[in-house]
Amino acid sequence: MRFLNNLSLFLILFSFSVNAQDMAEYTDNWEGKIENSKTFCLKVAIENFGLEKAIFKIYNNKSIINQSFNAKNAQQITIPISENLFFEGNLSKNGKEINGFIKSGLLLYHVKLSKSKNNSFIGNWNVLMVDELKSQDFYLSVENGSNNDYQAYPFLADNRFTGTWCDNFQKENNIITFSDFKTGLQFKGKLESNKIELEILLGNHSITKVDLKKSKTDWKIGGFKTENSTSILPLIKMENLISKDSLPNTHSVLISRNGKLIYENYFDGYNANVPHDMRSSAKSISSAIVGIAKDKSLFKSVEQSIFDFLPAKYQPLKDSLKSKINIQSLLTMSSGLDAIDYGINANPKSPATEENFQRAKDWIQTILAVPMINSPNTKANYGSANPYLLGIAMDSLVSEPLELFMDTNLFQKLEISNYIIQADLNGNPYFGGGMYLTPKDMLKFGELYLNKGKWNSKRILSKSWIENSFTNYRALENTKDKNGYGYLWWHHTYQINGKNIASIEARGAGGQYIFIIPQLKTVVVITSGNYRNGKTQQPEMIFENYILPQLEN
DSSP per-residue codes, 89-140: EEE-TTSSEEEEEEEETTEEEEEEEEE-STT-EEEEEETTSSSS-S--EEEE
Q: Cβ of 108: how many Cβ atoms within 10 Å?
A: 27
DSSP state of 315: G
Give residue limits of the domains in the chain.
21-27+143-214, 41-126, 225-276+438-553
List strand residue ranges (DSSP E) for 222-367, in order: 227-231, 250-257, 260-266, 276-277
Task: Please list, in sequence order, all residues whose beta carbon lies within 8 angstroms of the beta carbon of residue 279, skipping any fewer than 6 positions away.
Answer: 433, 434, 508, 509, 510, 512
H/E run at residue 365: helix 363-368
φ/ψ of 525, rounded to 5, equals -120, 130
Question: What value does the CA radius of gyration of the chain take, rounded to a whole number of Å?
Answer: 25
Which pLDDT score is estimated for 6? 52
- pLDDT tens per residue, range 427-451: 999 999 999 999 999 999 999 999 9
Phi-psi region of 144 (alpha: psi -120 to 50; beta: other; left: phi over 0): left
Round to whole Å and give the CA distance between 298 and 312. 20
CATH number of 225-276+438-553: 3.40.710.10
Counting as low any pLDDT under 70, the low residues of the chain are 1-20, 227-228, 230
- pLDDT tens per residue, range 158-194: 999 999 999 999 999 999 999 999 999 999 999 999 9
Please tell me the pTM assigned to this model.
Answer: 0.95
Residues paired with residue 187 on neighbouring β-strands, in sequence order: 178, 200
Round to whole Å and give the CA distance between 120 and 109. 20
SS3 state at 66: strand
Which pLDDT score is estimated for 21? 86
Helix (H), strand (E), coil (C) string for 139-205: EEEEEEEECCEEEEEEEECCCCCCCCCEEEEEEECCEEEEEECCCCEEEEEEEECCEEEEEEEECCE
φ/ψ of 58, rounded to 5, equals -130, 130
Q: Are 509 and 279 in contact (CB under 8 A)?
A: yes
Q: Are 139 and 29 in contact (CB under 8 A)?
A: yes
Instruction: State the number of CA atoms in the 13 A half-sphere of 381 facing the CB.
Output: 23
Round to whole Å and give the CA distance between 162 and 214. 24
Widest pairwise Cα distance in the chain: 99
Q: In a 10 Å sphere around its CB, with 0-12 CB exposed, 13-18 middle and 19+ buried, how is residue 153 labelled? A: middle
